[in-house]
């Protein structure tokens, strides 16, 4: 039996197909999660996934969704066209898959963040972790070696920071998608914006690491590759932590 793992973020829909009994292996310099297929599309291209998912023959789908009611309705329509597919909406709870949720109200923690922590814990068991997900927003979460989620930070992502400057300060230009790390003290406005935004992201991550000496730093998300070189501390880039968390949380032992 196979299941679809689906991560619906603020910009893209990521997915993977995995057999029920295949769990997440420990980190060995890379991730080989045993996926049979995987992919990602922007929200607008969601309908193109229906024939792709139909071909997988999956019997179940596990979904982490944070993109609002309208996107959920569109996703339900696409998945509803697949015969016999059982849907399970992943949610944050007090504890799951070796991670204990330290939020005052566990349900308030975004399900994507909870899944990310589960994925990180599966890859790096018994290690203290700082997990920075650098997407539309940047989240920086602390997990101790016993699997206790201590808490975290949320700040505007790299793109949001730059866009906010352009929109709210009339004389500042809009910075495009091509980001090249400038010197710390830039000598023209475009580079100064990029330097400020990159160093703000890196500074928040390094401040979190300073508060948890000895923690391993994991980076994920679309902007992680730009932020990683700005860090002065060792870090590990890991893609698709939400999908890996869904996989770890829903693995069934072989019959």
What are the catalytic residues? 112
Q: Which residues contact 187 (CB under 8 A, 6 or more apart)?
A: none
Alpha helices in 57-188 (DSSP H): 69-80, 111-123, 158-168
CB–CB of 238/130 below 8 Å? no
For tokens 């709870």, name the residue.
93
C-alpha to C-alpha distance for 211 and 142, rounded to whole angstroms: 10
Q: How deeply is 130 buried, as exposed, middle or buried, from its count of CB atoms within 10 A (0-12, 13-18, 19+)?
A: buried
Which residues 6+ apart lie within 8 Å of 175 measured at CB?
Answer: 162, 166, 190, 193, 194, 197
- What is the Cα–Cα distance from 114 to 107, expressed in whole angstroms? 10
């Amino acid at each position: 039996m196979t299941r679809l793992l689906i991560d619906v973020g603020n910009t893209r829909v990521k997915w993977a197909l995995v057999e029920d009994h295949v769990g997440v292996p420990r980190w060995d310099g890379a991730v080989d999660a045993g996926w049979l297929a995987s992919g990602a599309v922007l929200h607008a291209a969601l309908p193109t996934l229906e024939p792709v998912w139909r071909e997988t023959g999956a019997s179940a789908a596990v979904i982490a969704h944070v993109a609002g009611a309208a996107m959920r309705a569109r996703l339900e329509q696409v998945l509803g066209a697949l015969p016999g597919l059982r849907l399970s909406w992943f949610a944050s709870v007090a504890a799951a898959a070796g991670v204990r949720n330290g939020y005052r109200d566990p349900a308030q923690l975004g399900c994507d963040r909870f899944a990310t922590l589960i994925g990180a814990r599966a890859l790096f068991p018994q290690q203290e972790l700082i997990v920075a997900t650098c997407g539309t927003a940047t989240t920086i979460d602390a997990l101790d070696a016993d699997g206790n989620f201590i808490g975290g930070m949320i700040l505007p992502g790299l793109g949001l920071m730059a866009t906010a400057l352009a929109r709210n300060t009339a004389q500042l230009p809009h910075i495009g998608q091509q980001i090249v790390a400038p010197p710390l003290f830039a000598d023209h406005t475009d580079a100064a914006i990029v330097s400020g935004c990159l160093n703000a992201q890196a500074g928040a991550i390094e401040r979190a690491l300073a508060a948890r000496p000895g923690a391993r730093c994991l980076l994920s998300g679309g902007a992680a590759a730009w932020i990683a070189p700005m860090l002065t501390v060792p870090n590990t880039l890991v893609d698709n932590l939400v999908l890996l968390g869904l996989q770890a949380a829903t693995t069934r032992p072989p019959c």
